[in-house]
Amino acid sequence: MERVLEDFVTAARTAGVRISISETLDAVRAVKVVGYRDRALLKDALAVSLAKTAGEKTILEDCFERFFAFRLFAAAPDRACKDAAMPSPSLVQTKSSLVRLLMEEDRAGLIGAMTEAARLENISQIKYFTQRSLFALRILARMGAGGLDGQIQALGRIDTPAAAAEKARLESAKAYLVDNVRNYVQSQYDLFARNEGERRLESELRLVKLSNLEQRYFARIHNIIQRMVKRLNDLHSRRRKAARRGVLDFKRTLRENISYQGMLFAPSWKRKKIERPQIVVICDISRSVLRTVRFLLLFLYGLNQEIAKIRTFVFCTNLVEVSDILGNSPVDEALARIQGGTDIPLIMGRTDYERSFGDFRRDHLAAVTRKTTVLVLGDARNNYNDPHPENLRAIYERCKRLIWLNPEVPAFWGSGDSEIGHYKPYYTMIKECNTLEHIERLISALVRR
């Protein structure tokens, strides 16, 4: 029965319930107490052990109903009815248990044989809809369909009305069996692989270039980012708790407790201070870079628990600060307002890095300190204007580190009107940044520091 519970946990995870190893062990202990006899009690025990929210409880209950539809609690047919339906002795003797189950119309036995065959064939590993026929054939073979076919062929060689009637009955029983096995495999596919297509699509969206992303996928990307942000927030909140609690300092503890003759009455702890980064973001919002900007800012402003302070500046022909707009509005709405120029002195003309970095140096350089990480997001394409790298140098000399995020592939860096080579001495590192995976790696590294 532990294998049954293991498969149920796999199905629940596939359906979207987050289940840890410790919660799985809690469910095992709960099932050992309540058993499998009482369906309602079993469902409540699993819900209490595995679900953490009302939404997860609803998903878990739906998964429970579909998962245990065939496996357990199948009522055996009434014995009197079964005896009345018993056929005459078989004209051809067989040792096939499947044939006997079909001839006796033992529904409970057939369900047991089918689920056991499915377990031996690892039905929980089904991932693709093209595997359904393969698993159905394997389950039928494991149940003994070969013996059933042999019985039908043997009856076909007997030229009597009784043999013909029994052959027809076995063929009808076989069709019934095949239909039920196919339905069972379909139900298991729905349990274990119904979200496989979604997961594959999300994996591909994490790797696709944001500049090539179609508008219809934006909502999915937003959901992916929300889950990434939640995972990072949860991870680093645990790190902060561990840092506050500290780790036992064995040497200091022994020294401090010498007066107690070695009894550890006063433990000492090592404490590690985790500093949240201060970030200044300078973004090129010309058409070629805008989509990457959108998703980077979604990520950054979702991590407000992990970032001590964030100030955002955008530029095209000139540069303006938009921290208040992004802090008080959703990112999509804020970017639309910024591009529309509503109450913002932003000139959306030809990209000018020299003027934009000069604006920052003149008006906002005080925003950069030795604790600040500066992120510059842009392709450095300056329309053949003079780049004046000394403006970037003034920022570089004041900050903790300056990271340039380039949405172009490295092969294009420095080609045409790209001035990235002139800025190279004045950034700590440069990273390709044009997919969700690139953004996640960058933000994870920032908050980990």
3-class secondary structure, 372:
strand
Q: Which is more confident, 108 or 377?
A: 377
Residue 259 lies in a domain: no
Q: Are residues 321 and 299 in the same domain?
A: yes
Reduce the DSSP state of residue 381 to 3 states and report it. Answer: strand
pLDDT at 81 over 60: no
Report if residue 236 sits inside a domain: no
Q: Is residue 273 part of a domain?
A: no
160, 193, 226 - which closes a domain: 193
297 and 341 inside one domain: yes
Both structure tokens of 78: 């009434």
Indicate if 296 and 417 belong to the same structural domain: yes
Residue 58 lies in a domain: yes
**Per-residue pLDDT tens digits for 152-175:** 888 888 888 888 888 888 888 888
Please check whether residue 225 lies inside any domain of the structure.
Answer: no
Residues 347 and 444 in one domain: yes
Q: Are 299 and 418 within one domain?
A: yes
- Beta-carbon contacts of 426 under 8 Å, excluding residues fewer than 6 positions away, are 389, 392, 393, 395, 396, 402
Mean pLDDT of 331-352: 79
Q: Is residue 417 one of the residues assigned to a domain? A: yes
Q: Do both 20 and 99 map to the same domain?
A: no
Name which residue leads in pLDDT, 196 or 249.
249
- Does 212 have pLDDT greater than 80? no
Among 193, 223, 256, which residue terminates a domain? 193
Averaged pLDDT of the chain:
80
Q: pLDDT, tens digit, for every residue of 226-264? A: 777 777 666 655 555 555 556 777 788 888 888 777 677
| Six token digits for residue 408 | 């172009």
Give the least confident one: 52-56, 405-409, 416-420: 52-56
Residues 430 and 289 in one domain: yes
DSSP state of 408: S
Share of the chain above pLDDT 70, in %: 84
- Which domain-ending residue is among 158, 193, 228? 193
Domain limits for position 65: 2-71
102 and 62 within one domain: no
Tell me how many domains the chain contains. Answer: 3
pLDDT of residue 11: 80
Q: Which residues contact 434 (CB under 8 A, 6 or more apart)?
A: 209, 210, 211, 292, 407, 408, 409
171 and 302 inside one domain: no
Query: Is 203 or 362 the better-scoring residue by pLDDT?
Result: 362
Residues with Cβ within 8 Å of residue 120, at least 6 apart in sequence: 142
Query: How, if at all, do strands 319-321 and 309-315 pair?
Result: antiparallel
Residue 36 has pLDDT above 60, yes or no: yes
Which residues make Cβ contacts (< 8 Å) with residue 221, sequence separation at least 6?
205, 213, 295, 436
Confidence of residue 83 (pLDDT cuts 50, 70, 90): very low
- 400 within a domain of the structure (yes/no): yes
pLDDT of residue 103: 78
Residue 294 and residue 409 in one domain:
yes
| CATH at residue 310 | 3.40.50.410
155, part of any domain: yes
CA distance 376 to 411: 19
